[in-house]
Amino acid sequence: MPSKLSSAHATFASLAAEYSSDALLVTDHEDRVLWLNAGFERMTGFTLDDLVGRRPDEVLKGPDTNADEFAKIKEALRLRRPVDIEVIYYRKDGKEFWMESRIVPIFDADGKHTHYMSSSRDISARKELERITENALEREQERQKERKQLSETSEWLYSARSIEELLQVVEQSLKTMIPEAGGQLFLYSNSRNILDLAAQWGETSDTKQLEATDCWALRRGRAYSFGAQDIEFKCDHVEHDHGNAPYFCLPITAHGQTIGLLHLNFWDQPNLKGADASSEYHAFFKRRWDIALLCAEQISLAVANVRLRQELEDQSVRDPLTNLWNRRWLLEAAHKELSRYRSEGVPLSIVSIDVDHFKKFNDHHGHDAGDLVLRAIGSKMREMFTGSLSPCRIGGEEFIVLAANTTLEAAQELTEDFRRAMAHLTVRYAGAALPAITVSAGVTTMTDGQQQVIDLLKIADRALYQAKQMGRNKVCTHDDLDPESLPNPLAQKRTTTRASMSQFSKPLRN
């Protein structure tokens, strides 16, 4: 009976080895091939004749075979222990595939090690699925990271209080979100015929200005991608030193009007085009293109938001009639300059200007003519008081020039030039020239005796009054005043800074 069972077992074992889908391999105690089944031959393409007497790794391994896995096998064989591996092998035709194997040592009845046996299966399909899944997870993680970065970028962009701050956010954000690209942001100049370089980052060109006709995106009125299309033309503003390296040009728009251009280049990326471009190349640029479009949209909205905010802030500190700074701006700016005087010793002067006989002029010619004169005065002040000199209208026919970083002598000279210019200014109303307009002015400068801006304003006001008393159309300084008439600094400390500018008005100036 036992003999029949042994014969049956041998038959079943032979059948299992022949028809098993797994690859079976038997080697001697030195790991040289002795036998393999049909499954191994189907899986690898190698026959017993190809492998007999040889070690499996001599035949199956290739350039992408993991060296760490082979070290793991050698260590298990040395210790005569079972080992499980997943490794890339190569078929007889040179094609690679993934094999999962379990190698176990075989011992005889006396415990002597005689053979090794491995059972293997092709897991290439599973590995490909794992690769696809892993790539999908990586892409999803990347998209989540990009969405988070875009959200953070939007928050920073909309928090910018000025174009300068906004440009810093744009530069830092795009370096983070699209690190492979160098970039430039151009904004239209006031003339609307030239775009000036506003910001740049990474490796980029030396272009500082460009015309709208230099860029296909601006000419076509929509975003343009160069480097991944069958039909495309290079923009004139892109340097030719980099051949056909890909780049993006994206118009920046606000309220339906193009206000700038975002240019991103990928000089460090493979220069592939059309049918020669790999799927990875297209996928890479598709993702970057989508991000760039979103960034351009956010930048457009942010620029429009900053400009609107600046316009509203500017309106709040501008006199609507003359477009000069108003009293609110003057008080804030004067206190800042006073701090500079105290900390750095920077000169600070004040010029108080009043139109001579303006009430009589208004009564005779009407308020429309008077407004026309005030606008002409404002225009002349903007023309002549520039740089660190800031002209302001504080009400009616009363003007102040905040002369930062200006000595008394320089402020007096500039005011004299302005007085003479006003005396020769011709203003026409209803087709006729209006009578000549003259102005009187008082000039003073900050000294250690004054403690507050209010001191300076009062002294300039007294000097102006002195000019009126001397016949008008004159400029006086605090040197022309009686020292006894100047404000007492100790008494002035008791004067509240909450006093409005109307406290310094001059009822007898006309």
397 belongs to the catalytic site:
yes
In a domain, 322, yes or no: no
The bridge status of strand 475-477 relative to strand 83-90 is unpaired
Listed range (41-55, 365-379, 453-467, 479-493) with the worst mean pLDDT = 479-493
- The verdict on 34 and 172 lying in the same domain is no
* Domain CATH number, residue 340: 3.30.70.270
Determine which of 42-51, 52-61, 248-257, 495-504 has the lowest per-residue pLDDT on average.
Answer: 495-504
Q: Which of 171, 337, 397, 398 is catalytic?
A: 397
Residue 27 shares a structural domain with residue 156: no
| Inter-CA distances, 25 with 18, 22, 134, 417, Å | 12, 10, 32, 106
Is the domain of 146 the same as that of 295?
A: yes
- Regarding whether 137 and 115 lie in a shared domain, the answer is no
Q: Answer yes or no: is 334 within a domain.
A: yes
Q: Edge-to-edge strand order for the sheet containing 83-90? A: 33-36, 23-28, 113-122, 96-107, 83-90
In the chain, what is the straight-line distance between the N-terminal and C-terminal CA atoms, in Å? 140
Report phi then psi at 186, rounded to 5: -110, 145
Q: For strand 389-395 and strand 475-477, is the pairing parallel, antiparallel, or unpaired? A: unpaired
pLDDT score of 384 more than 90: yes
Q: Residues 118, 200: one domain?
A: no
CATH number reported for the structural domain that contains residue 173 in this entry: 3.30.450.40
Are 446 and 348 spatial neighbours (Cβ–Cβ below 8 Å)?
yes
pLDDT at 413 over 90: yes
CA 340 from chain centre, in angstroms, equals 32
Q: What is the pLDDT of residue 190?
A: 74
Task: Collect all residues with Cβ–Cβ distance below 8 Å to 123 and sequence separation of at least 6.
Answer: 86, 98, 99, 100
Whether 307 and 335 share a structural domain: no
In a domain, residue 156? The reply is: yes
Q: What are 87-118's pLDDT values in tens digits? A: 999 999 999 999 999 999 999 888 899 999 99
89 and 143, same domain (yes or no)? no
Helices (H), 20-123: 38-44, 48-51, 56-60, 67-79
Distance CA 252, CA 422 (A): 44
Q: Is residue 489's pLDDT more than 60? A: no
According to the model, what pLDDT value does residue 486 have?
52
Q: Please indicate, yes or no, if residue 510 is contained in any of the structural domains.
A: no
Strand-pair partners of 184: 200, 263
pLDDT reported for residue 304: 83
Count how many domains the chain has.
3
Residues whose CB is less than 8 angstroms from the CB of residue 407 and which lie 6 or more positions away in sequence, other chains included: 347, 349, 445
Domain limits for position 69: 2-122
Quote the percentage of the chain above a pLDDT of 90. Answer: 43
pLDDT of residue 393: 95
Q: Which of 17, 18, 95, 86 is nearest to 63 (CA)?
A: 95
Residue 8 lies in a domain: yes
Q: Are 354 and 331 contained in the same domain?
A: yes
Residue 509 included in any domain: no
Residue with the two structure tokens 């460009």: 210
Asked if residue 422 belongs to a domain, the reply is yes
Asked, for residue 321, whether it belongs to a domain, the answer is: no
Domain boundary among 271, 286, 315: 315
